[in-house]
Chain A
Amino acid sequence: MSSKEPAQKLGFEESLERLEKIVLMLERGDVTLEESLQRFEEGVALSRRCHELLALAEKRVSRLVREEEGGLTLQLFPAEPQDS
């Protein structure tokens, strides 16, 4: 599906906004049958994308440090005691 490709690259904010727009568009019902089907497909892809971005395993905490050679690099930050 061509409508799925761009959804893979969108960030959360863009995906959510696009999904909201599609839902409103479909709820208004002023699109053709074919378009509403395409939009629906796109909406499902966007919804999946959003879930993916939220559901990925816990992201790391790192430390931005300057190397001896002068460049910047990320190092893992010492694990913090987690209160859950």
Chain B
Amino acid sequence: MLEPAQTPDSRSADPIYSVTELTRSIRRLLEGSFFGVWVEGELSNVKLHTSGHLYFTLKDDQSCLRATMFRRHASKLRFDAADGQKVRVYGTITLYEAKGELQINVARLDPVGIGELELAFRQLYERLEKEGLFDPSRKRAIPRHPRVVGLITSDTGAAVRDLLSVLRRRAPHVELVLRPARVQGAGAAADLVRALADFEEWGGADVLIVGRGGGSLEDLWAFNEEIVARAIAACRIPIISAVGHEIDFTIADYAADLRAPTPSAAAEVVASDRESLLIQLDRLGTRLGRGVLQGLRKRGDRVMLFARSGAFRRPLDLYRRRSQDVDALADRLETAGRSALARAAMRLDGAGGKLHALSPMAVLERGYAIARGPAGKIVRRASEVAVGEHIDVLVARGSLRAQVEETREEGGMNGKDETS
């Protein structure tokens, strides 16, 4: 450090400054020489004052410099400035006259080694994660067969086109409701939050898809905003996020109940393919008919013997042939260029016919009846019931409560019968 070699007498002709005068001229000197400089260092003693001004010390391994970032600049920071971060600041060196301290007034603060948005993303992720916002236990189940799917996205982008085209193709039976929203730029985050609130208010959607097509990190930024993440997590309707491409992960993705890699993928997840549902239904229908007969067989019921007799089989064959006719007709319709809808309708008729043919009810329909004794046991021999006892007679439509007047063990089919 420099010091004058000799100390002159204070009564010499040299001018004498007041403290204020001296600090002010030093400040002017500094501001003139260091107006707008970049300086790199590490943040320490970071303090965000309630006034919105940000105070910190910039340091390296040998020196430190006090810094102030006034609110109009500090409020534009996307990430949270924190101790230990390596940063590059732009500002003007000045002197804080009240304390005689050197400081830099910072206009811009950039993280070093990591992008500003990336840092902001990591910080928000860590904070919300610690808070439990992404906890799997918070996730609502996505309904497997929604009636109404709500879409929140831009009404002009590629995302809405993909969503509509996939959903219409796979699941024309599902109703779609679009709430157009801004998905990038100023006000996008707030509009997404409003869109979620609109669906909650409307109340008609079983599940929501929130998303947009691909873009830069900056383009997707609305989906990394805290207000959007919180609104998604708090929404009462299950939400599938579908932002950008497969490699893009946003905070909204973590807050959503399910992340789909792309809008098209979300459309495939949300609605089961109608064709495969129809096949599943056909199989269930066949098993239903078979099941009821097998169940009876297991119980060793006489009804089964009856069902196996020619009387039952013949109509079954008839129905089989008929459902073949239906299939053939459906084929012809198909080749005639009719829609898949018509095909489905024909299949429905076919399935109904098959089911009915397999039903023991079909046997009853032909005029047969099942009689049950007082204990509910099926009556196979006249001797199983006594005169005067009540029996239940099951006919095709409903049942009869009857009293036995007479019983005859043999030749029942010919003579006057057991029931009244």
Task: Please list the residues of chain B having a beta carbon within 8 angstroms of any beta carbon in chain A.
Answer: 143-145, 147, 150, 155, 161, 164-165, 168-169, 172-180, 198-199, 201-202, 274, 277-278, 280-281, 284-285, 287-292, 294-299, 301, 303, 341, 344-345, 348, 351-352, 355-356, 359-361, 370, 376, 378, 394
**Do residues A23 and B284 form an inter-chain contact, with CB atoms below 8 A?**
yes
**Do residues A13 and B288 form an inter-chain contact, with CB atoms below 8 A?**
no
**Do residues B198 and A11 form an inter-chain contact, with CB atoms below 8 A?**
no
**Do residues A64 and B198 form an inter-chain contact, with CB atoms below 8 A?**
yes
8 CB contacts below 8 A, A to B, read A23-B287, A40-B289, A41-B361, A48-B352, A59-B173, A61-B176, A63-B178, A83-B169
Query: What's the Cα separation between A23 and B147 when bound, in Å?
Result: 24
The B-contacting residues of A in range 9-65, CB under 8 angstroms, are 11-13, 16, 19-20, 22-34, 36-37, 39-41, 43-44, 47-48, 50-51, 53-64
Shortest Cβ distance from residue B180 to the other chain A in the assembled complex, whole angstroms: 7
**Do residues A50 and B281 form an inter-chain contact, with CB atoms below 8 A?**
yes
Known A-B contacts A13-B145, A27-B294, A84-B169; A55 and B345 likewise in contact (beta carbons under 8 Å): yes
**Do residues B361 and A64 form an inter-chain contact, with CB atoms below 8 A?**
no
Residues of the A chain whose Cβ atoms lie less than 8 Å from the Cβ of B169: 83-84
Residues of the B chain whose Cβ atoms lie less than 8 Å from the Cβ of A80: 161, 164-165, 168
**Do residues A37 and B292 form an inter-chain contact, with CB atoms below 8 A?**
yes
**Do residues B295 and A29 form an inter-chain contact, with CB atoms below 8 A?**
yes
Interface residues on A, range: 35 or more
**Do residues B147 and A58 form an inter-chain contact, with CB atoms below 8 A?**
no
**Do residues B173 and A11 form an inter-chain contact, with CB atoms below 8 A?**
no
Query: What's the Cα separation between A18 and B346 when bound, in Å?
Result: 24
Among B179, B284, B289, contact of A63 (Cβ-Cβ < 8 Å): B179
**Do residues A37 and B361 form an inter-chain contact, with CB atoms below 8 A?**
yes
Query: What's the Cα separation between A80 and B296 when bound, in Å?
Result: 53
4 tightest CB-CB pairs across the interface, nearest first? A26-B291, A29-B295, A29-B298, A59-B175
Residues of the A chain whose Cβ atoms lie less than 8 Å from the Cβ of B278: 51, 54
Shortest Cβ distance from residue B417 to the other chain A in the assembled complex, whole angstroms: 21
Shortest Cβ distance from residue A76 to the other chain B in the assembled complex, whole angstroms: 11
Query: What's the Cα separation between A57 and B172 when bound, in Å?
Result: 8
Most B-side CB within 10 Å, residue of A27, A30, A84? A27
**Do residues A44 and B355 form an inter-chain contact, with CB atoms below 8 A?**
yes
Query: What's the Cα separation between A50 and B201 when bound, in Å?
Result: 29
Among B165, B291, B345, contact of A27 (Cβ-Cβ < 8 Å): B291
Residues of the A chain whose Cβ atoms lie less than 8 Å from the Cβ of B175: 59-62
**Do residues A33 and B378 form an inter-chain contact, with CB atoms below 8 A?**
yes
**Do residues B164 and A58 form an inter-chain contact, with CB atoms below 8 A?**
no
Residues of the B chain whose Cβ atoms lie less than 8 Å from the Cβ of A36: 292, 295-296
Most B-side CB within 10 Å, residue of A61, A64, A80, A82? A64
Most A-side CB within 10 Å, residue of B176, B177, B295, B378? B295
In the complex formed, the residue of B with least CB distance to A63 is: B178
Most B-side CB within 10 Å, residue of A39, A58, A59, A74? A59
Most B-side CB within 10 Å, residue of A34, A36, A82? A36
Residues of the A chain whose Cβ atoms lie less than 8 Å from the Cβ of B290: 27
**Do residues B277 and A54 form an inter-chain contact, with CB atoms below 8 A?**
yes
In the complex formed, the residue of A with least CB distance to B359 is: A40
Residues of the B chain whose Cβ atoms lie less than 8 Å from the Cβ of A27: 287, 290-291, 294-295
**Do residues A29 and B296 form an inter-chain contact, with CB atoms below 8 A?**
yes
In the complex formed, the residue of B with least CB distance to A73 is: B202
Query: What's the Cα separation between A39 and B296 when bound, in Å?
Result: 13
Query: What's the Cα separation between A60 and B176 when bound, in Å?
Result: 7
Residues of the A chain whose Cβ atoms lie less than 8 Å from the Cβ of B289: 40
In the complex formed, the residue of B with least CB distance to A12 is: B145
Query: What's the Cα separation between A36 and B301 when bound, in Å?
Result: 12
Query: What's the Cα separation between A53 and B175 when bound, in Å?
Result: 11
Query: What's the Cα separation between A24 and B288 when bound, in Å?
Result: 8
In the complex formed, the residue of A with least CB distance to B167 is: A61
In the complex formed, the residue of A with least CB distance to B161 is: A80
**Do residues B291 and A61 form an inter-chain contact, with CB atoms below 8 A?**
no
Among A13, A26, A55, contact of B144 (Cβ-Cβ < 8 Å): A13
Among A16, A55, A82, contact of B173 (Cβ-Cβ < 8 Å): A55
Known A-B contacts A29-B294, A61-B164; A54 and B173 likewise in contact (beta carbons under 8 Å): yes
**Do residues A26 and B199 form an inter-chain contact, with CB atoms below 8 A?**
no
Query: What's the Cα separation between A13 and B198 when bound, in Å?
Result: 26
The B-contacting residues of A in range 65-79, CB under 8 angstroms, are 66, 72, 74, 77
Among A12, A51, A72, contact of B147 (Cβ-Cβ < 8 Å): A12
Residues of the B chain whose Cβ atoms lie less than 8 Å from the Cβ of A53: 173
Contacts A29-B299, A51-B344 known; 16 new A-B pairs at CB < 8 A: A12-B147, A19-B281, A27-B287, A29-B297, A33-B301, A43-B355, A44-B352, A44-B356, A47-B288, A54-B274, A55-B173, A57-B341, A58-B168, A60-B176, A62-B177, A77-B176
